Amino acid sequence: MIIKEYRVVLPMSVEEYQVGQLWSVAEASKAETGGGEGVEVRKNEPFDGKPLLNGQYSQGQYTHKIYHLQSKVPSILRKIAPKGSLAIHEEAWNAYPYCRTVVTNPDYMKENFFVKIETIHLPDRGTTENAHGLGAEELAKREVININIANDNEFLNSSDIQPSTTPGTFISSKTGRGPLKGNWRETAQPVMCAYKLVTVYFKWFGFQKIVEGYAHAQYPRLFSKFHREVFCWIDQWHGLTMTDIRAIEDKAQRELEEQRKSGQVRGMTG
């Protein structure tokens, strides 16, 4: 089991990010869906009574999605896993500013695989040393990785870098924020940090280190790419309300269902 904490500083408030993140998830899902693969939304509804982060949060929005991912997993897994067994289930309890996401593969790996992503969003510059309230044993295992969304050369593939979503050159017409240069993480106002604690568990003799290592090699890429998009799409989501977001999510759910059944395989591949 490998535990890493990814810290992503962003030039926006915690309140702004709630809207921007949800809008961008809906948008990014479309880019990963087509040709029989992609995102299937099973549930998107309020929840209450689930204690999260040591009981600090207990209500919010629950989502259950299935990711049909045949072309997006490591080739070594595609070779050994039966056809149709690579559907990944994602359950998320979003009690903003805290969110817990659990990724499993119940059809094939069952209890031998899970990824848990716990995120707390705080109005700081990534300086909170134990944002998740970990005990001494977990803290000893945890590795902290700081992600600078303005760095094009650290975690991204060349195909991930698009002119329209490059924070180093983007300037927001609505907010005047950007471009993100130099030590922007020390000077940006407003500012916040997403503290993303990721636990990867894969119990399969001979493959455990390979798969756990592969997952943690992918997460900084995913987090960097996604948060670059959240910032560079700010003019499209800034000013929307949570009511607007729920309507957008409902529309995206219908579009994803149609898109998944037709067209070409799209988005990032393994």
Digit-coded pLDDT (tens) for 70-82 = 554 556 565 666 6
Q: What is the pLDDT of residue 167?
A: 98
Give, for 111, the enclosing helix (H) or strand (E).
Answer: strand 110-122
3-class SS shares of the chain: helix, strand, coil, % to 5:
35, 30, 35
Q: What is the pLDDT of residue 248?
A: 93
The fold for domain 2-33+96-240 equals: Alpha-D-Glucose-1,6-Bisphosphate; Chain A, domain 4 (3.30.530)
Percent of the chain with pLDDT over 90: 71
Q: How is residue 264 written in tokens? A: 């070409």
Pairing label, strands 2-10, 143-147: parallel
Task: Give the pLDDT band of residue 36 (cuts 50, 70, 90).
Answer: low
Residue that wins the pLDDT comparison between 52 and 205: 52
In the chain, the amino acid numbered 42 is: R
Which of 39, 71, 25, 42 lies closest to 256 in space, CA to CA?
A: 39
Q: What is the pLDDT of residue 270?
A: 46
Q: Is 101 helix (H, G, I), strand (E, B) or coil?
A: strand
Task: Give the pLDDT band of residue 193 (cuts 50, 70, 90).
Answer: very high
Model confidence, pTM = 0.90
| Spatial contact of 51 and 134, defined as CB atoms under 8 Å apart | no
* pLDDT above 70: residue 135: yes
Once rounded to an integer, what is the mean pLDDT over residues 150-155?
96
Q: What is the pLDDT of residue 206?
A: 83
Out of 32-41, 53-62, 197-206, 250-259, pick the least confident: 32-41
- Determine the Cα–Cα distance for residues 172 and 247; give it in Å rounded to an integer: 25
* pLDDT above 50: residue 90: yes
Q: What is the pLDDT of residue 258?
A: 87
Q: What is the pLDDT of residue 81?
A: 66
Pairing label, strands 57-68, 38-52: antiparallel
